[in-house]
Chains A and B, each alone.
Chain A
Amino acid sequence: MRITCPCCGTRDRREFTYYGSDDYLNRPEADAPPQAWDDYLHNRDNPAGQTRDLWYHDPCGTWIKVTRDTVTHAIHACEPVAAEGR
């Protein structure tokens, strides 16, 4: 599996650390009910097929939103999380 870092180009999977589903980009407001925090931290769609998850490129420090297939390991798109203004 090779992942394309928006800064450094296509690199070996070993340079990246997996963080988890892109649910992590939807942080609840501080006063959100506990259920919202449980959903944010723990509950997952966990799809068999196309998924979006967050990876960190260790050498350059870029957070990347990767669109990929969990059944075939194909990588469809890699976008910098920073582009969303987060």
Chain B
Amino acid sequence: MRYSGFRVLSQGLLGNRGWRPAWRKPAPKPAYDVLIIGGGGHGLSTAYYLAKNHGITNVAVLEKGGLGLGNVGRNTTIVRANYFLPGNSEFYSHSLKLWENLERELNYNVMHSQRGLINLFHSDGQRDAFARRGNAMLAQGDDAVLLDRDGVRKLLPYLDFEQTRFPIYGGLYHPRGGTARHDAVAWGYARAADQRGVDLIENCEVTGIDIEQGRMIGVQTTRGPIRAKQVAIVVAGRSSQVAAMAGMRLPIESHILQAFVTEGLKPCIDHVVSFGMGHFYISQSDKGGLVFGGDLDFYASYAARGNLPMVEHVMEAGMTLMPMIGRARVLRSWGGIMDMSPDGSPIIDKAPVDGLFINCGWNYGGFKAVPASGWCLAHLMATGAPHQVARRFRLDRFATGHLLDEEGTGSQHNLH
């Protein structure tokens, strides 16, 4: 069923009795050509692009719970392409271009809103660094505008420009950055993959990975064994556990990252604003809630909830930057389980086992990568060669020293 304005209208007139479930609920077949472990954003987009770009449709996505209930439904929904390093820059640029056509591509409203993103800077040195980053973005073919203080004031008049600790010198404006409806991205990819013949199998937890003489032969699940010669692990915060089933020990440490939403307010924050020095960023959802977050709690955790010191820190940073939000009431907060790599960049690569692939290490930046991550993993699985824009996301780069340290803080687990 194609969705359209006409169908919404006609269904409205006919009592909405004609809607069908957006995807099937098939029982697992005994064997597939490809298995994707993990029914989140990255897994679903991988399945979709395997079918769409490469004609590989005998594919199953195995999800231990329900589709899209992990990090893809628990993030702060920011979509941007403002990276600096070669290796990251072209990848996120590719991803943003896929985002810009995603609704037409999937026939699904993902509410992609390019409202513009502003990264604030607070010193001359930071201005130089941001000018350089902006130039890298322009050289990549994306958009960036270096704003001075008055330029920021025009866009964001409500900031406290006179704060003593981090006076605002200006900002790097990325007009094509913005937000999207996170759940809709998972649902849109799920529906589109299902329409191309992919089996989406929910409540199917992988309990073992079967390897024979160094080759993949299939997996054990709570719904029985499933055979496949190609298997991809796309499970974000749980990467270490699933990879351990294949005898791998990953360069990943899972950390907690908290986020917060206030009660719904009238539109007041029109952009995504990022206050790096205070570890604070904020946007306003279409429903009206202020969605904001900070930095990691900075210790290994699978608790899916954080501790109070970081809550206090984020609130303080928010009040420092924009005192006007002080009377908004926080509705809820939560924590996501981030698969942190030592250098803060992701991994899309073949595993040492023949036929096994790994997509992990998305740190706190996985949401905007959903389209390109699936695109590139599908390319790697179908052709055997890494996609041009993801060729540096190698699993062995920590051993070989070809790091992708976007922050420039070092390749160590407690630094990203």
Residues of A at the B interface (CB closer than 8 Å) are 1, 12-14, 18-21, 34-35, 38-39, 41-48, 51, 53, 70-73
26 residue pairs of the A-B complex, CB under 8 angstroms, read A1-B307, A12-B309, A13-B307, A20-B300, A21-B253, A34-B399, A35-B399, A38-B399, A39-B249, A42-B251, A42-B342, A42-B398, A42-B399, A44-B249, A44-B250, A44-B251, A44-B252, A45-B244, A45-B249, A46-B240, A46-B241, A46-B300, A48-B238, A48-B302, A51-B300, A73-B307
Q: How far, in whole Å, are A13 and B313 apart by their CA atoms in the complex?
A: 13
Measured between beta carbons, the chain A residues less than 8 angstroms from B303 are: 70-73
Q: How far, in whole Å, are A2 and B298 apart by their CA atoms in the complex?
A: 15
Q: What is the total number of residues of chain B having a CB less than 8 Å from a CB of chain A?
A: 25
18 more CB-based (< 8 A) A-B contacts, given A13-B309, A44-B413, A46-B253: A1-B307, A18-B300, A20-B253, A20-B300, A20-B412, A34-B399, A41-B342, A41-B412, A43-B249, A44-B240, A44-B252, A46-B240, A46-B250, A46-B252, A48-B238, A70-B301, A72-B303, A73-B301
Residues of B at the A interface (CB closer than 8 Å) are 238, 240-241, 244, 249-254, 298-303, 307, 309, 342, 398-399, 411-414
Q: Looking at the complex, which one of A35, A43, A70 makes contact with B254 (CB distance below 8 Å)?
A: A70
Measured between beta carbons, the chain A residues less than 8 angstroms from B249 are: 39, 43-45
Q: Looking at the complex, which one of A18, A44, A72 makes contact with B298 (CB distance below 8 Å)?
A: A18
Q: How far, in whole Å, are A80 and B92 apart by their CA atoms in the complex?
A: 44
Q: How far, in whole Å, are A46 and B240 apart by their CA atoms in the complex?
A: 6
A18 pairs with B414, CB closer than 8 A = yes
Q: Across the A-B interface, how many residue pairs have beta carbons closer than 8 Å?
A: 72
Measured between beta carbons, the chain A residues less than 8 angstroms from B302 are: 48, 70-71
Measured between beta carbons, the chain A residues less than 8 angstroms from B301 are: 70, 73
B398 pairs with A70, CB closer than 8 A = no
Measured between beta carbons, the chain A residues less than 8 angstroms from B238 are: 48
Known A-B contacts A42-B251, A48-B241; the reply to A21 vs B307 at CB < 8 A is no
